[in-house]
Structure 1
């Protein structure tokens, strides 16, 4: 049996789709627990199954019953018990950057960010005297709102050019800038902790790749290559969060819902269909404030979509790209077959913080 419970807060409906059963009957709904009497295909024996719903539901026995669909699936619709819908986008953005953010790290009396492979310390109290959040990914585009006149100088041709100090970020020594999926600092901050050249940034002990050197000669350390250790916890950062944050930033900064992800010669077109749904998948995992993502890697279909509309492109790194793609496809495989596709699009569900694990 495969199932999907999808909560759509904008319309206050929880839909339950079951596949691979001969018959099904609702026994009870206790807020977030759905109890079913199920007869599997090929058997005559009924058994009880409990499914955790993604939100509280109201059960009306006279109208809330399973109906059989065109592909032998069973569908149930329940009214959600939640109050009036409020847009969760701002809350989702806030929670998405909470992990390993300035606010998150400062709550600890002490912390250490270490190389994921050898546990060599990379950032701790001795080389991090100040933490600051990175501005929005689109901070330069928003300068029109900050200044009546942008700070420029004339180049050789008399054209106004943005002053260099306003065109880049320059943290001080022992100051760390915190982005959604990376840390940024000057080379002196990481002396004897990392090694780098024009192309590589690696751990000074085990030479595991930790990040990149930016155009401004700053060191950019990927969160997914580090471990956060405190007095009572140790946790890692899911590489796929890098892609999910990029998709959210695209919606926030440009209202772009279609994004073409590129990783070398591989491309994946993603449609951010919804960003505030709840879902329970066949493996029992409950996703809260999840993203419903439609995607395709079919080159012909991608070209058709590109001819119809403008699509933003994002160049991605291999580790987060393949982590994101594998998690997305795994979620698709857990869905009933009727829920897996919308026309040529494949359907998947991901929760931004789902890959952050306590070790």
Structure 2
């Protein structure tokens, strides 16, 4: 199928409309015709001796008593090869078209977080997606728990800083709240790291893996090392204590695919959701999340947590690279800016069935520019770490998604427009 004749449709649930763009190989003329079919669920465009048919991401108002409706041709003012339409949602569909899935927290239908703890059955076996080898036997994991959000330490510090003032107890002694720190807290400063660590939620505190428990993060699972049976970890004694290495690669013992990493300090095994399958014994999930869907969940969580739509995706540092003692260093990063987190789309060039997505702007930047963003006090970007190979896969996926978007809409003021497919728990779980 040629790139110069295509149809792209986008569901905009916030305004309850479907936007459609038809890109023609030559300017619209008397041979061009467009029809709404199947009660407003499909669009058919003919140009010269060629045609395209596309299933819309949602049914729209067709009119005409159900018979095919001829559409007015509206070439763009600056491009006679581009036809555009905006259709209101069909009333029967409109009630169910609320923008669900935009929130990356909380279980239930419509959540954009893949494989939340609430949706994973106890006793589920974790498999390698590549070779189906068992990585974590189901009988080893009795309980699945969601990890707290990334800003849990900050929230707890805020709570302590705003507890009631000191009070006199019944024993006559003066008791101080946890926020008692005359030289800092009452001066408006944050508690120091030592204080936070003493309370159990400082930056140097970490979630400790527990036997029998599978911890669930936005993009990963966390297990105690003893629970993993098919995971191969590089020998930690080979790592120089003075090196910058903090993590060791974790690979499938059967196919040797990199599936996660091992934390030397914790110790714990972190497995990447996009490299896994889950088997509950009753059914195996046939639509596991991709790396792009996992990243979308993390980006949306950043928005919910910080209010900022901009994120910086950087290669994970401190992980052993190759056979030497060097930790992976980042050479490029991905800067993203979310435009719309609740769209669904279809395209004759890509997914022809309704696909939930995050529409965003992105640009690939160098290490120096990324470091400046991270170090700037005025920067509003939130950082996300991915393995180097996963970051490259994400960049490739976003660049491919850009080709699905109509040519005239693929770039904006130095940014590239892309589509990050978004997980929908209501779609992927029974």
Shift of residue 316, structure 1, vs aligned partner: 2.2
Output aligned runs, 1:73-84, within 5 Å.
73-81=82-90, 82-83=94-95
Q: CA deviation at 1:258?
A: 1.2
CA–CA distance in 2 between the matches of 1:227 and 1:348?
27
Give the TM-score of the pair, scaled to structure 2. Answer: 0.69
Partner of 2:293: 241
Q: State which structure, 1 or 2, has the greater radius of gyration over its C-alpha atoms.
A: 2
1:59 matched to 2:62? The reply is yes
Structure 2: how far apart are the matches of 1:161 and 1:310? 25
Please state how far the C-alpha of 1:193 moved relative to its aligned partner: 4.9
Counterpart of 1:297 in 2: which secondary structure?
Answer: strand
CA deviations over 1:186-224 (Å, ceiling 9, x no partner): 222226754353523333455443322234222212222
1:5 matched to 2:13: no
How far apart, CA to CA, are the structure 2 residues paired with 1:151 and 1:126?
Answer: 43
Q: 1:320 to 1:164 in 2, by over 3 A?
A: farther
> In the alignment, is the contact (CA less than 8 A) between 2:233 and 2:262 conserved in 1?
no
- 3-state SS in 1 of match to 2:248: coil
Cα distance, 1:254 vs structure 2:
0.6
The residue number in structure 1 matching 2:224 is 186
Q: Shift in Å at residue 227 of structure 1?
A: 2.6
Aligned mate of 1:199, from 226, 230, 248: 248
CA contact (8 A) 1:6 1:16 kept: yes
CA distance in 2, matches of 1:172, 1:140: 20
Q: Which runs of 5+ in 1 are unaligned?
A: none
Aligned to 2:407: 337
Residue 320 of structure 1 is aligned with which of 380, 390, 412? Answer: 390
Counterpart residue number, 1:113: 126
Please point out which of 330, 344, 352 is paired with 1:278.
344
Cα separation, 1, equivalents of 2:253 and 2:269: 14
Match of 2:173 in 1: none
CA offset at residue 118 of structure 1? Answer: 4.3
- Matches of 1:237 and 1:289 in 2, distance apart? 13
Residue-by-residue CA offset, 1:164-198 (whole Å, 9 max, x unaligned): 74432224212111122211122222267543535
Matched, 1:129 2:167: no
CA distance in 1, matches of 2:193, 2:75: 71
Cα distance change of structure 1 residues 228 and 85 upon mapping to structure 2, 3 Å threshold: closer
Normalising by structure 1, we get a TM-score of: 0.81
8 Å CA contact 1:282–1:335 kept in 2: the answer is no
Q: Against the structure 1 CA distance between its residues 84 and 231, is the aligned structure 2 distance closer, same or farther, given a 3 Å change threshold?
A: closer
**Is the 1:291–1:349 Cα contact (8 Å) retained in structure 2?**
yes
Change in Cα spacing, 1:64 to 1:274, as seen in structure 2 (3 Å) is same
| Structure with more of its chain in strand, by fraction | 1
Cα 1:58–1:129, aligned 2, differ >3 Å: closer, same or farther?
A: same
**Matched residue pairs, number?**
346
User: Residues 219 and 294 of structure 2 are in contact (CA less than 8 Å); yes or no, is this contact kept in structure 1?
Assistant: yes
* Deviation digits for residues 100-135 of structure 1 (CA, Å, limit 9, x no counterpart): 3323221x7x53212334433222222112221111
Q: Deviations along 1:116-166, whole A, 9 cap, x unmatched?
A: 34433222222112221111122222214654365899xxx9963422744
Assess, with a 3 A threshold, how the Cα gap between structure 1 residues 150 and 126 changes in structure 2: closer, same or farther: farther
Q: Distance in 1 between matches of 2:113 and 2:310?
A: 25
Alignment RMSD (CA, Å): 3.7
